[in-house]
Structure 1
Amino acid sequence: MSTAGKVIKCKAAVLWELKKPLSIEEVEVAPPKAHEVRIKMVATGICRSDDHVIAGTITMPFPLILGHEAAGIVESIGEGVTTVKPGDKVIPLFQAQCGKCRTCKHPKSNSCLKSDIISYKGTLLDGTSRFTCKGKTIYHFLGTSTFSQYTVVDEISVAKIDPSAPLEKVCLMGCGFPTGYGSAVKVAKVTKGSTCAVFGLGGVGLSAVIGCKAAGAARIIGVDINKDKFAKAKELGATECISPQDYDKPIHEVLQDMTDGGVDFSFEVIGRLDTMVSSLLCCQKAYGVSVIVGVPPDSQSLSMNPMMLLTGRTWKGAIFGVYVPF
């Protein structure tokens, strides 16, 4: 029996309160409105950004359904949807792309002005939610909310993919892999024969390592306090790995000593203010490029000496590796 146009009851992981465990609940998922798409989720990853919300370092309205790195199959569409149809394999996009605003039209940007990553309002574009549970409205996360068996997204937040794509693998294309890989090849523009440092060797950091290797970097230094990650990092392209806990001086000084004054490119893929500064300082002071990839805590700011940049370093940031997923 078709579920199009009907409310679907399904399971979802709901975050009711800050710093509390996710709770598996039965939720109601309303049909998509005009220019919206309802998706049956098949696979979803867990990203550090989801954990940031649980911990409170990213501020969102509660209760909500997290998740933004996933793949699924279109169950039904709302009026006016033209880019996908029921049965299509798709990836929900936490970085919406309207294609019409000033930033969408800029060749160097992918930060759509309609994306919820800017406002964190917790709704779809019309300002409302499609989720309810126990009589309460449940908010969306970044317009995706993939920790649910079914979700509704705006049409500008969904990308059709190849029908032969294995959803349990391509779900990583929804965030982790393009974010890390694109930071190396599209944002930093790593050059052949260069030296790189990657702070944080989780899924996104490893993707940055892969990007550095693909770009031809001669030396890729992984930095992490968890040495269990070193073997995988080296398998994927890191030439060496170090832990800040093994040294009596700041890690940026260690990297400067290891590389005759600093690396050519560095990537902070953790989301900590102290490692962002370390990542910048480990760059060669005259021409090094440092990219912020990890999401920084809300309501915190850095105090820095402008001389860190005046000598010639470049400090950059990007979301989703500046990829435009259409």
Structure 2
Amino acid sequence: MSTTGQVIKCKAAVAWEPGKPLSIEDVEVAPPKVHEVRIKVVATGVCHTDWVNLYETGKGMKFRPFPLVLGHEAAGVVESVGPEVTNFSPGDKVIPLFLPQCFDCDRCRSPKTNLCKKNWENAQVGILADGTSRISCNGQQVYQFLGVSSFSQYTVLSDASLAKIRDDAPLDKVYLLGCGVSTGYGAVVNTGKVEKDSLCAVFGLGAVGLAAIMGCQIAGAKRIIGIDINPDKFEKAREFGATECVNPKEHSRNIQEVLVEMTNGGVDYAFECVGSPAVMTAALESTIDAWGMCVIVGWTETEAMNVVVEKILMGRTLTGTYFGGWKSVQEVPKLVDDYMKKKLKLDEFITHKLPLDQINKAFDLLKLGQSIRALINLWPEENNPKVA
């Protein structure tokens, strides 16, 4: 029986309140409205941003309304499209995008930025363009994280927040291009524009940091130094291209002093992939004066970074990146192509595979530093959706 135009009943991991584990619930997902697409989510990952918005909300992070379905790094298949949707059809393979690309605004028309603001304010507070969510549970509206909510077997997004990808792409791999890998890799090749034979330092060896290391290797960097307080991540970092790894806990001096000494003056490029103001400062101060560049990749909404103005005045560049600088709708399919051509690693990021009902274990593994990315399979036993 066709589900087009019908409310679909399915499973989702719902955050009922901040700081509490997710609860697997039966939810109802309404049909898409104008310029919206409903997708079946096949694979999703648990990102650090999901964790902080569950466990750090109200502790320096922006407050987002609850109940909430988290998740923003995913891949799926179009189930149905709403009125005025012309770029998608049922059966298309897609990657949801927390950063849209409308092609119409000044920012989309500019080559200088990827920061489209289509439906931006609404997405930050968990609603779609009309001011409501398409997900409900027991008659109560459930908010959609960043306008995505991939911890649900079905979800509805704006048609400006989806990238259509090739039919032969494995969804249980390319979902990683919805956030972490694209962000870290793009920070190097788009924002930093790392040059051959450069000296690079990557702070934080999670998925974003490993993707940055991969980008540095592809760019031809001569030395790639991975920095993390968890030495268990060093072997994986070397697999992605790190030439050496440093644990700040093994040194009595600040890590930036150690790096400056190791590189005879500082690195050419530093990438902060943690989201910590203290680490941001260390990354900036690890760069060489005259031409050093520090790219802030890690997300934080907490206290401002304490930048020493002198460090900037002496010729360094401090900049940030969001989603790696990629024009999302347009360029994510190209990243999928690069993976299919074996130009990008994705499989190596996936350290665990779990069904949706074990999603809280994925959060625990991430917090304990025991996983890079856990693949959440939303359909461990294929079931047909129920029409409400």
| Partner SS, residue 39 of structure 2 | strand
Residue 15 (structure 1) shift: 0.8
Residue 102 (structure 1) shift: 1.3
Q: Under a length normalisation based on structure 1, what TM-score does the superposition of the two structures give?
A: 0.97
Which residue number in structure 2 is paired with residue 60 of structure 1?
64
User: What is the alpha-carbon distance in structure 2 between the residues aligned to residue 176 and residue 304 of structure 1?
Assistant: 26
Pairwise mapping of residues 22-101 of structure 1 onto structure 2 (< 5 A)? 22-55=22-55, 56=57, 57-101=61-105
Which residue number in structure 2 is paired with residue 136 of structure 1?
140
Is 1:209–2:191 an aligned residue pair? no
Is 1:237–2:245 an aligned residue pair? no
Among residues 181, 184, 202, which one is paired with 1:177 in the alignment? 181
User: What is the alpha-carbon distance in structure 2 between the residues aligned to residue 219 and residue 290 of structure 1?
Assistant: 16
Identity, in percent, stands at: 55
Among residues 315, 336, 340, which one is paired with 1:312 in the alignment? 315
User: What is the alpha-carbon distance in structure 2 between the residues aligned to residue 224 and residue 76 of structure 1?
Assistant: 44
| Partner SS, residue 74 of structure 1 | strand
Residue 119 (structure 1) shift: 6.4
Deviations 1:255-297 (A, max 9, x none): 0000011000000001111001101110002210010111013
Unpaired segments ≥5 residues, structure 1: none
Paired residues in the alignment total: 325
Among residues 261, 273, 281, which one is paired with 1:277 in the alignment? 281
Pairwise mapping of residues 248-267 of structure 1 onto structure 2 (< 5 A)? 248-267=252-271
Kindly indicate whether the alpha-carbon contact (under 8 Å) linking 2:123 and 2:146 is maintained by their aligned counterparts in 1.
Answer: no
Which residue number in structure 2 is paired with residue 228 of structure 1?
232
Residues 164, 119 of structure 1: CA spacing in aligned structure 2 closer, same or farther, 3 A cutoff? closer
Residue 10 (structure 1) shift: 0.6
| Partner SS, residue 318 of structure 2 | strand
Kindly indicate whether the alpha-carbon contact (under 8 Å) linking 1:94 and 1:117 is maintained by their aligned counterparts in 2.
Answer: no
Kindly indicate whether the alpha-carbon contact (under 8 Å) linking 1:263 and 1:283 is maintained by their aligned counterparts in 2.
Answer: yes
User: What is the alpha-carbon distance in structure 1 between the residues aligned to residue 148 and residue 121 of structure 2?
Assistant: 11
Which residue number in structure 2 is paired with residue 111 of structure 1?
115
Q: Under a length normalisation based on structure 2, what TM-score does the superposition of the two structures give?
A: 0.82
| Partner SS, residue 144 of structure 2 | coil
| Partner SS, residue 17 of structure 2 | coil
Kindly indicate whether the alpha-carbon contact (under 8 Å) linking 2:123 and 2:145 is maintained by their aligned counterparts in 1.
Answer: no
Kindly indicate whether the alpha-carbon contact (under 8 Å) linking 1:108 and 1:322 is maintained by their aligned counterparts in 2.
Answer: no
User: What is the alpha-carbon distance in structure 2 between the residues aligned to residue 43 and residue 242 of structure 1?
Assistant: 33
| Partner SS, residue 182 of structure 2 | helix
Which residue number in structure 1 is paired with residue 15 of structure 2?
15
Residues 301, 293 of structure 1: CA spacing in aligned structure 2 closer, same or farther, 3 A cutoff? same
Residue 143 (structure 1) shift: 1.1
Pairwise mapping of residues 281-296 of structure 1 onto structure 2 (< 5 A)? 281-296=285-300
Which residue number in structure 2 is paired with residue 190 of structure 1?
194
Unpaired segments ≥5 residues, structure 2: 331-388
Which residue number in structure 2 is paired with residue 297 of structure 1?
301
Q: CA RMSD in A?
A: 1.2
The amino acid that maps onto 1:217 is A
Residues 118, 190 of structure 1: CA spacing in aligned structure 2 closer, same or farther, 3 A cutoff? farther
Which residue number in structure 2 is paired with residue 323 of structure 1?
326
The amino acid that maps onto 2:196 is K
Moved more, 301-310 or 41-50: 301-310
| Greater relative contact order, per chain length (Cα 8 Å cut-off, separation 6+) | 2
User: What is the alpha-carbon distance in structure 2 between the residues aligned to residue 209 and residue 238 of structure 1?
Assistant: 6
| Partner SS, residue 163 of structure 1 | coil
Residue 173 (structure 1) shift: 0.8
User: What is the alpha-carbon distance in structure 1 between the residues aligned to residue 13 and residue 123 of structure 2?
Assistant: 23
Is 1:155–2:159 an aligned residue pair? yes
